Amino acid sequence: MMSSFPGGPRDRLPRPVDRLMLGASGLRVSPICIGITGDPDTIPAAFDAGINFFFITGDLHWPLYETLRRGLERLLARSPSVRDEIVVAAVSYLDQPLFSALQFHEVIDAVPGLERVDVLVAGAIPHERSFFGRPEEQVVGRYQAIHAARARAHSGARAIGASFHDRRTALISLNNQCLDINYIRYNTAHPGALTDIFPYLRQDRTGLIYNFKSVLSSVTPERFKELGLDDKYWLPKITDYYRFVLTNPHIDGVLCSPATPGQLAELLDALAERPLTPQEEHYMMWLSSTATPRYF
């Protein structure tokens, strides 16, 4: 079983069958968390491969998750015991109140057999005042107790999390043990966590770090050729961008969106490969900054 990494390079990439403690919740989740997909059969295939963590929205992106909902329905129809073998996170993008029971009950009602949401996630947190509501020194000591109580009151949830668009706020959450899971953005064109988060993390943190938008900076073959690089350099595959993220030892897992069972199989094959070398990491950052120069 893998655990959050205290420092130093990884000797292998996380695998679907690995399990991580989800903060203080008592739940154990795979490092691979499946979100949007294009084929319902991807979800049972993911479970069969060892993945037990799934991510669904309660509002803003509802139509995009229709196939995931149907996939979960198919998986849960196998046996009543399946529900206790998986962990389902649901995100709400409402600011007031931060966690809305209505959003999470809509998810439950839409998936026969789901019965509860295990992890409540506040989506797209832009900065600390919108999240903590007052200077952090006045509230972080109370934050986990307050929202853990809310989590228990809503939908049978046992864990809480958030997705952050502001790295400073993510660091505050992580170092003050505010949440069970923290979703951040770190990819080849947006590597700011290398300087703004990872060097300052507490070694004893319990909240997990999962990445989203891992392949946002992928370079297409057409763009690669347009830049005149096709005869000289290596064109990374989509799965190499997941390898890039998971090579960093501070990243516990990824939220990913394989569209089909075939794409899922490609991802699983990639996770069996070695971590990237520092030279490969630097090359991929250079390539993405050249093709899509949008650092933040």
Any idea what the CATH number is for the domain that residue 106 is in? 3.20.20.100
CA–CA dist 110, 114 (Å, integer):
9
167-206 residue pLDDT tens: 999 999 999 888 999 999 999 999 999 999 999 999 999 9
In a domain, 63, yes or no: yes
On the question of pLDDT at 1 being above 80, the answer is: no
On the question of pLDDT at 241 being above 90, the answer is: yes
What are the residues facing 259 on neighbouring strands?
A: none
For the residues 241-260, what does the mean pLDDT come to? 98
**Terminal alpha carbon distance of the chain:** 34
| Structural domain boundaries, residue 167 | 20-216+244-276
Q: Is omega for the bond preceding 293 within 30 degrees of 0, making it cis?
A: no
Tell me the pTM.
0.89
In a domain, 266, yes or no: yes
What are the residues facing 210 on neighbouring strands?
A: 183, 253
Name the more confident of 195 and 294: 195
260-280 residue pLDDT tens: 999 999 999 999 999 999 999
In a domain, 129, yes or no: yes
Q: Are 94 and 121 in contact (CB under 8 A)?
A: no
In a domain, 44, yes or no: yes
In a domain, 6, yes or no: no
In a domain, 201, yes or no: yes
Residues whose CB falls within 8 Å of the CB of residue 57, separated by 6 or more in sequence, listed in order: 64, 65, 90, 91, 92, 93, 107, 123
What string of DSSP letters covers 205-258?
Answer: --SEEEEE-TTTTPPPHHHHHHTT-TTTS----HHHHHHHHHHSTT--EEEE--
On the question of pLDDT at 139 being above 90, the answer is: no
On the question of pLDDT at 236 being above 90, the answer is: yes
In a domain, 296, yes or no: no
27-85 residue pLDDT tens: 999 999 999 999 999 999 999 999 999 999 877 788 999 999 999 999 999 999 999 99
95-127 residue pLDDT tens: 544 446 777 888 999 999 999 999 988 887 766
DSSP state of 67: H
Name the more confident of 42 and 6: 42
Report the number of distinct structural domains present in the chain. Answer: 1
Name the more confident of 24 and 33: 33
Angle between helices 238-247 and 261-271 (to 10 degrees): 40
In a domain, 237, yes or no: no
Give the Cα-Cα-Cα angle 61, 65, 69 (nearest 5 degrees).
140
